[in-house]
Amino acid sequence: MKNTLLNAVDIHKSFGTLKVLKGIDITVYESEIVAIMGKSGSGKSTLLQILGTLDNSDKGTVEIDKVEITTLKSQEIARFRNDKIGFIFQFHHLLNEFTALENVLIPAYIGQTNSKLTNDKAKELLDYLGLSERLDHKPGQLSGGEQQRVAVARALINDPLLVFADEPSGNLDQESSDELHNLFIKLKHDLNQSFVIVTHNQELGSLSDRTLYMQDGNFI
């Protein structure tokens, strides 16, 4: 039986009178790619934010790595998130004033890990992602696909237990999009990396191990 990385039970979330999540259950195992699909406005991003500890649910529990998130104080959550969770968004959210290498290093500095080791590791990661010639480029000097791969390296620098991605290929052309999807598969095989990916992309849906469809506040 595979290790359970995340177990969320009976997640509810409303914004005012709008009930967005109505009792979601989800379990994610190690070395697994889970795709979450569903219409725009169905609550995918809301769910991902809650699973990723960026937002609170109104009701329900989220356990990551056997830790129930609501038992942590807010500083502990920030630390936990930086250690255990990587994020990739539709828009890369790289810092424009910093180079590719510096952007990848930011979560490592926050975690106060040894700088020589992390510097080497960031270079290794960028090399693995085909960006060894782009270390000193700023985001504005990179293509959309390259920017997103830097964001992947940033998500991976602290060896996260789990990576959450919200429409990561939503802003990419077909070729870069395929490249990114293949990269997720490769990371799963090479590093046993687990992902929870919100996507509208059918191909990514079919490449994933499991696809969950959201509708009316629940999975169908």
45/201 with CB nearer ligand ADP:
45
The CA distance from 211 to 214, in Å, is 10
CA–CA dist 27, 51 (Å, integer): 10
Binding ligand ADP by CB under 6 A: which of 46, 57, 99, 211? 46
How far is Cα 177 from Cα 61, in angstroms, rounded to an integer? 33
Residue 176 binding ligand ADP, by CB under 6 A: no
Distance between CA atoms of residues 43 and 47, nearest Å: 6
Q: With CB cut-offs between 5 and 8 Å by kind, which of ligand ADP, Mg ion, none does residue 20 bind?
A: ligand ADP
Q: Which does 188 bind (CB under 5 to 8 A by kind): ligand ADP, Mg ion, none?
A: none
* Residues of this chain, 23-82, that bind Mg ion according to CB under 5 A: 45
15 binds ligand ADP (CB under 6 A): yes
> Pick from ligand ADP, Mg ion, none: which does 43 bind, CB < 5 to 8 A by kind?
ligand ADP
Pick between residue 44 and residue 92 the one whose CB is nearest to ligand ADP.
44
Distance CA 31, CA 49 (A): 21
Please state the closest distance from residue 89 (CB atom) to ligand ADP, in A: 12
Assign 26 to helix, strand or coil: strand
Closest CA to 143 of 184, 163, 171: 171
CB 12 within 8 Å of CB 23: yes
Cβ pair 2, 163 in contact under 8 A: no
User: Taking CB under 6 A as the rule, does residue 172 contact ligand ADP?
Assistant: no
57 belongs to the binding site for ligand ADP (CB under 6 A):
no
| Residues that bind ligand ADP in the complex, under the rule CB under 6 A | 15, 18, 20, 38, 40-46
